[in-house]
Chain A
């Protein structure tokens, strides 16, 4: 049994992807910025 991707399902999947994408992006930014404050 196969069915079309519904608009709602795709929107839900894309919204979840955006949230995770932002979270990863912010983690990358934090890693980049925090690096400047590491003292040897």
Chain B
């Protein structure tokens, strides 16, 4: 495998694993974002 292949593979894995880790951590409740849950809007129905 060429150096460029290694770079693409590792960058791709890092991006995907980073996104997966972030989402799972937030889903499982490790650290809440600043926005927090929002209340439903008044315009609930169509």
The answer to whether A and B assemble together is no
Q: Which residues of A contact B (CB under 8 A)?
A: none
Q: Which residues of B contact A (CB under 8 A)?
A: none
